[in-house]
Amino acid sequence: MFDSLNISASALTAQRLRMDVVSANIANAETTRGTFVNGKWEPYRRKLVMMEPREKSFNQILQGEMQKQQTESKTQLQGVKVTGIVNDKTPFKQVYDPTNPDANADGYVMMPNVDVSKEMIDLLAASRAYEANVTAFNTGKSMMLKGLEIGR
């Protein structure tokens, strides 16, 4: 009965984390000293959220099979889970700015691999997905409440 709420809740959590990571990317779009690697500063590297479907636990599948409530057409997926936050491997951008203290001998500064317009699109997509899951959650909740009112 609560599967629909749990699925929406897992998606809400994942999309919230995605919005947080995108916000961090936008905030660090000009950060030339993000991490200290091998004795040198590297620019901030764009982060990405990795998600995958969450499957039912073995116990849930076993109980369903034992009770013969599980049919061939039912799916084993139960929402979404975040598997990790990974660094984007695209190369850094080079910008000519000889006055910058982080410029190399040729006057080029390594800038983060963050494209603000791409991040804004990702933020909009995550926001829309979050809104859709809030709507689905509220619809499921109201359906359950209406079902309880029938019993009165």
CB 118 within 8 A of CB 48: no
The upper half-sphere exposure of residue 68, i.e. CA atoms within 13 Å in the direction of its Cβ, equals: 0
Dist. CA 110–CA 41, nearest whole Å: 10
For residue range 49-94, list pLDDT tens digits in order.
Answer: 999 988 766 676 677 777 765 454 455 668 899 999 999 999 999 9
Output the pLDDT for position 36. 85
92's tokens: 């850094």
Say how far residue 72 (Cα) sits from the centre of its chain.
31
Name the more confident of 45 and 40: 45
Name the more confident of 12 and 72: 12
Question: Which ranges constitute the DSSP H helices of 28-110?
Answer: 58-66
Average pLDDT over residues 125-150: 93
Give Cβ neighbours of residue 88 (< 8 Å, ≥ 6 apart): 45, 46, 47, 48, 113
